Amino acid sequence: MADTSPPRSERRLALFDASGFIFRAYHAIPPLTTSKGVPTNAVLGFTRMVLKALQELKPTHVALAFDKSGRVERQKIDPQYKANRKAPPEDLTPQFPLIRKVGDVLNLASLDAEGWEADDVIGTLAMQAKAEGFQVLVVTSDKDFMQIVDEDITLFDPAKNKRLAVVDVQEKMGILPRQVRDFLALVGDAVDNVAKVPGVGDKTAVELLHQFGDVETLLTRLDEVKKPKIRAALESHRDSLLRAKQLVTFNTTLPLGVKLEDLARRPPDSTRARDLFTELEFFALLRDLPAEETPRPEVPPLVTTTTLVTTEAELKTLADAARAAGAVTLVPAYEGLPFAAPLVGLGMALPDGTTRYVPLRHQQLGAAQMPVAAFASVMKDVLADAAVKKGGHDLKALTLVLANEGLPLEGAHDDVELLSYLLNPSRREHALADLARERLRSELPALPASVEGKKGRALSDHGPDEVAAAYAVRADAARRLAPELWRELELGGLAELARTLELPLLPILARMEREGVKLDVTELARTSERVDVEVKAKEAECHVAAGHVFNLGSNPQLAQVLYEELKLPILKRGKTGPSTDQEVLEKLAEEHGSALARALIEYRGLSKLKSTYLDTLPTLVAKDGRVHTTYHQAATATGRLSSSDPNLQNIPIRTEVGREIRRAFVAEAGHQLVSADYSQVELRLLAHIAEDPVLIQAFLDDEDIHSRTAAEIFSISPKDVDREQRRVAKTVNFGIAYGLSAHGLSTRLGISQESARDVIERYFTRYAGIRQYLEDTVEKARKVGYVETLYGRRRLMGDLLSKNRGVAQAAERAAINMPIQGTAADLMKKAMLAVDAALRQEKLKTRVLLQVHDELLFEAPDAEVEAVKALARRCMSAVAELKVPLKVDVGSGKSWADAH
């Protein structure tokens, strides 16, 4: 291949002072957001400047230099350095990662060095490039950069469209570029908090430098300084002057570890640039992008075919390659629920792009397959080796199907479903096919319908050739998605959450699912029979009250009976017609004496419990007599887990029949169930996050929080609070973190809107910190476009600026709630890691079975019960140091009901 790189003399490196421009752009351009509310003024200014400078300078090589914890190293010289700087404005912070993204899609290298400023990165690169014969252009508006100007290094100020060479520095400053550092040290810098020598202004500084050349010489010949005042000042500021020179001097010897060749200019990735500019609504800039798709040779299309692995020797080679590379991406072929699903085959991808499919349990006659036992013996070690990082999509499912084969999996690391979830937890799905379409511009071939939960031939009835490519491509796609997702997580400050919380939690959830919880089906059947009698009686009662038989489960039929035949008033309407929900029925029963409504309420309650729990749960008991739920780690917008098949996070507890259902969740013989739950965790977190002194004190005093709130609201002593007042306060306490409204409170409590408004106003007067927090949260969310938890989990909030007021208000309530609910979820996840580690550490046989948001349920051998109670309380309380204590209630017994 011909060498097309420019001759040495024509190589021009443009170095952008990116961090400098971010702040300039932010202040130069008035606040601006996308229609979704993402602030973009600094991003726009920065992008325009970069594009303009590139056009003007036509460099052959380019780099963007950023600060990274920039003041840290200089503060080692002087702790006062930039100590007076405020944190960046809150609507600027979210623009930093966006600016990095702009650099990324424009194919410009972004460089930084931990602890150093962009200045130092540029200084280092400039020297390196000069030594290699480059012409260096530093794009900046900062005069400090004049210190590195020489015959090969010039500055370019895009704002003024002016270049600055040695002569310009001399003309402007009256000194040589290499004296700029001395000049800056003498006159100081108020903005950066660099001390000056008092009495020395620009003129004196220049004069002194003409006479002595630099500050070091000046200080050795102080007696030659004519003016006594200046001489005295210099004498007494000797140390601070030398320190100041150190501070203003660029470090030109950073170990950046970058080759200049890597900075060769590449055309923008116009596809991604187009997407990003569209997302940012930079429509004017879109036109300037090259129209055609830029070929991306470094990102080849996904594989379309693969090779089957059917011999032990081939598989061994593959396992060795994975071990050597330290990573492998695995996509299992299975159908149904991963607990108990047999492994039909395995798609694999290695970091070098090799893909394979291992057929294991295809039914096709004559198809060559890998014997399962041989597969297990070859793969066991590499799967269990945490040093070999595992990638894929839904690694919990992979962990489970491998566990079914007796193969423990360690080193789960690149789960693209989980990584995508952290980037945008509001998103409905993180299906691999969608991620591949969006991020790799590739369509994945379809999987057999049965795998997607639809009807069709069983997976194992397909031949290996039919499905091999589909699974191998998926492994290839997941392998390629992971680095991109990690990069975005790093940019958003979410990578630590992934590494230290979500990924370590994944195997714990897999174990909990595998463990399952024992269900006493006889007990459930007994209850079901009894409830059945009651349900039938209530049904008959309803039919009598209606005067004829109808389907009680059909709301349209019910509405006809209530509102047309019985002529009851329509109190509420839904989208499809008059409502028949519980609230309406209660009013009809109480205020209009409707016997039908009264009977129907009881019918609904009982039949719900019967159909959802009493009759369904027994069908979900596995062969081991236990129920195995599936936890979803990438499902909720707040960071909570969810549970399905069955959902064990909404097992009834409030009603008597509900408690009977919990009585059917039991411990094995010789064991007990131990329950540990956080008391009032969300209200405690609200107190901590909002820093409300009154609420914090209430928790420090371990008071009955609802009575205390009642006392505050009604301005009375806690001991004088009556039941009704406590009930009101309890409702307010529960509703407050949900964005409670006067209307909502009034309907819930059956009081007038006026008194509800009054109650809320009194609440906010007493708990002023809470009101402030709620307002600040919404305001900040509007500015930055997201809300976050104490641990940095983020939820993007696009609807806050919706023109539809209802939509915008709903988004405000969600924004208020997420930091509270999400932080509680973070805490519980941390607690689960701590509890798991402690159980191992103490070599206990106790297992964690269930997590229900603020509760953990354990199954403990009788002998361990007390130890586990103490352990759970300890681990869960100590998971964070907050301004309020984290209280944990524990209990134990033969059944879940008894453990409460």
Partner DNA sequence: GTCACGACGTAC
Partner DNA sequence: GACGTACGTCGTGACA
Using CB under 7 A, pick the residue from 337, 614, 745, 871 that binds DNA. 745
Q: Which stretch binds DNA (CB under 7 A): 222-230, 289-297, 362-370, 847-855?
A: 847-855
Residue 330 or 637: the one with the smaller Cβ distance to DNA is 637
In whole angstroms, what is the distance from residue 411 CA to residue 399 CA? 10
Helix%, strand%, coil% for the chain, nearest 5: 55, 10, 35
Q: Can residue 817 be called a binding residue for DNA (CB under 7 A)?
A: yes
Report the distance separating Cα 868 and Cα 538, nearest Å.
44
Q: Determine if 636 is a binding residue for DNA (CB under 7 A).
A: yes
In angstroms, give the least distance from the CB of 806 to DNA.
4
Which residue, 347 or 785, has its beta carbon nearer to DNA? 785
- Give yes or no for residue 723 binding DNA (CB under 7 A): no
CB atoms under 10 Å from CB of 468, counted, come to 25
Q: Give the whole-angstrom CA distance, residue 148 versus residue 249.
A: 10
Q: Of 139 and 690, which has the nearer Cβ to DNA?
A: 690
Instruction: Kindly list the distances between the CA atom of residue 854 and the CA atoms of 675, 739, 814, 874, 890, in Å, as whole numbers in the listed order.
Output: 10, 21, 19, 15, 12
What distances in angstroms separate CA 154 from CA 15, 52, 148, 264, one per listed residue? 10, 17, 8, 19
Which residues ranging from 413 to 442 are in contact with DNA (CB under 7 A)? 426
- Nearest distance, CB of residue 741 and DNA, angstroms: 3
Assess 818 for contact with DNA (CB under 7 A).
yes
DSSP of 199-225, one letter per residue? T--HHHHHHHHHHHSSHHHHHHTGGG-
With binding defined as CB under 7 A, does residue 605 bind DNA? yes
> Where are any strands of DSSP class E within 513-625?
517-519
Q: Residue 231: is it exposed, middle or buried by C-beta count within 10 angstroms (0-12/13-18/19+)?
A: middle
Nearest to 500 by CA among 792, 788, 848, 787: 792
From the list 70-78, 213-221, 429-437, 607-615, the region that binds DNA by CB under 7 A is 607-615
**What SS3 class is residue 153?**
strand
363 binds DNA (CB under 7 A): no
Q: Where are the alpha helices (DSSP H) in 249-305?
A: 270-280, 283-286
Minimum CB distance to DNA, residue 537 (Å):
17
CB of 655: closest distance to DNA in angstroms? 6
Which one of residues 8, 86, 654, 719 is an interface residue with DNA (CB under 7 A)? 654
CB of 747 to DNA, least distance (A): 6
Q: How far is the CB of 739 from DNA (least distance, A)?
A: 5
Cis upstream peptide for 578 (omega within 30°): no
What residues between 556 and 575 interact with DNA by CB under 7 A?
Answer: 556-557, 574-575
DSSP state of 612: I
Is residue 647 a contact point for DNA (CB under 7 A)? yes
97 lines the binding site for DNA (CB under 7 A): no
User: Would you list the DSSP string of 661-723?
Assistant: HHHTEEPPTTEEEEEEEESSHHHHHHHHHHT-HHHHHHHHTT--HHHHHHHHHHTS-GGG--H
Residue number, 654 or 803, with CB nearest to DNA: 654
| Residue among 270 and 528 whose Cβ is closer to DNA | 528
Q: State which amino acid sits at residue 166.
A: V
* Among the residue ranges 127-135, 205-213, 261-269, 804-812, the one whose residues contact DNA (CB under 7 A): 804-812
CB count in 10 Å sphere of residue 95: 26
Q: Using the rule CB under 7 A, is 781 a contact of DNA?
A: no
- Region at 447 (left for phi over 0; alpha for psi -120 to 50; beta for the rest): beta
Q: Is 551 in the site for DNA (CB under 7 A)?
A: yes
| Side-by-side strand order, sheet with 412-415 | 307-308, 355-359, 345-349, 327-333, 389-392, 412-415
814 binds DNA (CB under 7 A): yes
Compute the least distance from the CB of residue 864 to DNA, in Å: 24
Q: Does 738 bind DNA (CB under 7 A)?
A: yes
Q: Which stretch binds DNA (CB under 7 A): 362-370, 712-720, 773-781, 817-825?
A: 817-825
CB 771 within 8 A of CB 732: no
The site map against DNA for 853-882 (x = CB under 7 A) is xxx---------------------------
Looking at 581, 590, 724, 761, which residue binds DNA (CB under 7 A)?
581
Instruction: Please report, as a single letter, which amino acid is at residue 768.
Output: A
Residue 602 beta carbon to DNA: minimum distance, rounded to whole angstroms: 10
454 binds DNA (CB under 7 A): yes
> What is the SS3 assignment for 464?
helix
Interhelix angle 723-736/742-749, rounded to 10 degrees, is 140
Beta bridge partner(s), residue 860 = 672
Q: Which residue has the tokens 């932010």?
A: 26
618 binds DNA per the rule CB under 7 A: no
Q: Given the rule CB under 7 A, which of 200-208, 301-309, 326-334, 603-611 is the region that contacts DNA? A: 603-611
- Closest approach of Cβ 592 to DNA, in Å? 17
Residue ranges of the alpha helices (H) in 339-394?
372-384
Is 740 a binder of DNA (CB under 7 A)?
A: yes
Decide if residue 789 touches DNA (CB under 7 A): no
Nearest distance from C-beta of residue 881 to DNA, angstroms? 22
Q: Which stretch binds DNA (CB under 7 A): 165-173, 325-333, 521-529, 631-639?
A: 631-639
Q: Is position 679 an interface residue for DNA (rule: CB under 7 A)? A: no
H-type helices in 237-335, by residue range?
238-248, 270-280, 283-286, 312-325
Q: Does 587 bind DNA (CB under 7 A)?
A: no
- How many CB atoms within 10 Å of residue 779? 14
- Asked if 553 touches DNA (CB under 7 A), the answer is yes
Nearer to DNA, 217 or 804 (CB): 804
Token pair belonging to 4: 């097309």
User: Whose Cβ is closer to DNA: residue 307's or residue 655's?
Assistant: 655
Distance CA 644, CA 620 (A): 11
Candidates 125-133, 327-335, 611-619, 664-672 — which segment interacts with DNA by CB under 7 A? 611-619
Q: Per CB under 7 A, does 752 bind DNA? A: no
Region of 219-227, 284-292, 638-646, 861-869 interacting with DNA (CB under 7 A):
638-646
Q: Which of 380, 813, 873, 874 binds DNA (CB under 7 A)?
A: 813
Distances (CA, A) of 728 to 185, 724, 756: 65, 6, 9
Is residue 727 a contact residue for DNA (CB under 7 A)? no
Which segment (80-88, 161-169, 647-655, 878-886) binds DNA by CB under 7 A? 647-655
CA–CA separation, 565 and 572 (whole Å): 17
Determine the Cα–Cα distance for residues 682 and 824; give it in Å rounded to an integer. 6
Say which residues have a Cβ less than 8 Å from residue 124's Cβ, sequence separation at least 6.
113, 250, 251, 252, 253, 254, 256
For DNA, the closer of residues 399 and 638 by Cβ is 638
User: Torsions phi, psi of 822, nearest 5?
Assistant: -70, -40
Tell whether residue 457 is a contact of DNA (CB under 7 A).
Answer: no
Please count the residues of this chain forming the interface with DNA, following the rule CB under 7 A.
68
Cβ 678 to DNA shortest distance, Å: 8
Closest distance of CB 677 from DNA, Å: 7
> Looking at 275-283, 378-386, 850-858, 883-891, which segment touches DNA (CB under 7 A)?
850-858
Candidate ranges 145-153, 223-231, 265-273, 609-617; the one touching DNA (CB under 7 A): 609-617
Which residues here bind DNA, judged by CB under 7 A?
426, 454-455, 551, 553-557, 574-576, 579-582, 585, 604-605, 608-609, 611-612, 616, 632, 635-638, 640, 642-647, 649-655, 658, 731, 734-735, 738-741, 743-745, 747-748, 806, 809-810, 813-814, 817-818, 821, 852-855
